[in-house]
Amino acid sequence: MSRSHLSMRKIKEILRLKLECNCSNYLIACSVAVSSSTVSECLRRAREANISWPLPEAMDDEQLNLLLYPPAKHDKTDRVEIDWKHIHQELKRKHVTLRLLWQEHRGKNPKGVGYSQFCHSYQSWSEKLDVWMRQSHKAGEKCFVDYAGDKMAVMINSNTGELRHAEIFVATLGASNFTYAEATWTQQLPDWIQSHVNAFEFFGGVPEIVVNDNLRSGVDKSHRYEPDLNPTYQDMAFHYNVAVLPARVRSPKDKAKVENAVLQVERQIIAKLRDRTFFSLQELNQAIQLLLKELNQRPFQKLPGSRESQFNLLDKPALRPLPTMRYQFSKWKKARPGADYHVELEQHFYSVPYTFIKKERNCSHHLN
């Protein structure tokens, strides 16, 4: 019990009335203007501390207070330090929740913290992490894709010194931050699709969801809630049985993972290759792959392991298997059959049912 509502004057008066005057607890309570339970508690503490009346002359108020109300003793053996890094790691596994982890903690430590305190402590700990680390993406769930803001020069004519600048495609898995990068000539649809295919093969499997940054090659019409996917991109997603989820406009948390991955690629790969001269896209990609391996094996600063070790532990076992056949690029266009019920695609003519005459439809053409 705290003595914050009792002054030292009242405490001494309670002791005097009981130990010297032998008054009843009720009379003492009325005289001192406190409750009977307060009087009883104060006297109980006095008995346990072997306090007599009159008090020793050498005893001051502070010493009396410590005798009656000593600081609470905490048994440090009951305190169990929670490994928040382990908790954060476990949250990335499928179907694992904070409540489940708390129940497991209490099962091992019956005197451990309550659920609310457990959640609050984890939140306080996680706020010290970078934004991209803070998010707990489930293993094998999401892959984030985007292009780096910086390009890399390739000399395409050594005689004239003519340079062509290549785009840098970046893909990263949500749970492990395992990253893939490659150079392509453009951000156009064929390169965009092929980079996805290469990324899936690099990962050795397919995630459940691909999150992109509303890139024109991937999204025909941007919309906050229901963006229209490019038909070829949608066809590729169907082939790999993956859902495409364009990042919401002005929602930086949706893109924190890939933005950090892009930053790391720019610092650990593009910057390191800035003074080298490349004479082909293939040569540039070979150099990128070597540094990409270093990036994925570099230890985290605030979490255990590396991108590669986390990938092997979390994402790799959870990814869906690759299909037996690679995706074959398809080009889609709107076509309206004429009276001869034929449509033209890439200078090839294809017959369609006569019921489609003069009706516009999406048609695809596979390109080798």
Average pLDDT, the chain: 80
> Would you list the domain boundaries of the chain?
8-68, 79-128, 142-318, 330-366
What is the reported pLDDT for 226? 42
Mean pLDDT across 126-144: 71
pLDDT for 248 equals: 60
Q: Cα separation of 65 and 68, whole Å?
A: 5
For residue 67, which of 40, 48, 54 has the smallest C-alpha distance?
48
Question: Would you state the pLDDT for residue 39?
Answer: 87
The stretch 123-151 carries a mean pLDDT of 76
Please tell me the distance from the alpha carbon of residue 133 to that of residue 138, in angstroms, as a whole number: 13
Burial class for 19, CB neighbours closer than 10 Å (0-12, 13-18, 19+): middle
Identify the residue with better confidence: 247 or 17.
17
Residues sharing a CB contact under 8 Å with residue 137, sequence separation 6 or more, in sequence order: 92, 174, 175, 257
Dist. CA 64–CA 66, nearest whole Å: 5
Q: Are 70 and 51 in contact (CB under 8 A)?
A: no
- By percentage, how much of the chain surpasses pLDDT 70? 76
Q: State pLDDT tens for residues 177-188.
A: 899 999 999 999
The DSSP call for residue 299 is B
Of the listed ranges 29-38, 86-95, 332-341, the least confidently predicted one is: 332-341
Per-residue pLDDT tens digits for 261-317: 898 899 899 998 988 999 999 999 999 999 999 999 999 876 778 999 989 988 999
- Whether residue 80 has pLDDT greater than 50: yes
Taking the C-alpha atoms of residue 101 and residue 78, their distance in angstroms, rounded to an integer, is: 19
Rounded CA-CA distance 131/141 in Å is 18
For the cut 90, the answer to whether the pLDDT of residue 368 exceeds it is: no
- 358, pLDDT greater than 90: no
Give the number of other Cβ atoms within 10 Å of residue 234's Cβ: 15
- What mean pLDDT comes out for the span 221-229? 48
The pLDDT of residue 83? 79
Per-residue model confidence (pLDDT) at position 132: 46
pLDDT of residue 269: 93
| Average pLDDT, integer, range 103-108 | 81
Q: Give, to the nearest 10 degrees, the angle between helix 61-68 and helix 8-19.
A: 70
* pLDDT at position 135 over 90: no
Contact 180, 199 (CB under 8 A): yes
- pLDDT number for residue 341: 63
pLDDT at 63: 83
Question: 142-318: which CATH topology?
Answer: Nucleotidyltransferase; domain 5 (3.30.420)
How large is the average pLDDT for residues 356-363? 56
Cα–Cα distance measured from residue 98 to residue 81, given in angstroms and rounded to the nearest whole number: 16
CA angle at 254 for the pair 233 and 123, rounded to the nearest 5°: 150
Helix (H) / strand (E) element for 326: namely none
Give Cα 321 distance to the centre of its chain. 24
Q: What is residue 223's predicted lDDT score, i.e. its pLDDT?
A: 42
Question: Does residue 333 contact residue 242 with C-beta atoms inside 8 Å?
Answer: no
| Residue with the two structure tokens 């009346």 | 53
Q: Of 83-87, 231-235, 292-296, 345-349, give the lowest mean pLDDT range.
A: 345-349
Which pLDDT value is given to residue 88? 76
219, 241 contact by CB (below 8 A):
no
pTM to 2 decimal places: 0.60
Is the pLDDT at 1 greater than 70? The verdict is: no
Question: Per-residue confidence at 222, pLDDT binned at 50, 70, 90?
Answer: very low
Q: Which residue has the higher pLDDT, 104 or 94?
A: 104
More confident residue, 143 or 260: 143
10-61 residue pLDDT tens:
888 888 888 888 888 888 888 888 888 888 888 888 888 888 888 888 888 8
Q: What radius of gyration, in Å, describes the C-alpha atoms of the chain?
A: 35
d(CA 297, CA 289): 12
Q: Could you tell me the CA-to-CA distances from 226 to 114, 238, 248, 251 in Å, in that order?
A: 41, 18, 10, 15
Give the end-to-end CA distance of the chain in Å, rounded to a whole number: 82
What is the pLDDT at residue 37? 86
And the tokens for 199? 């990324």
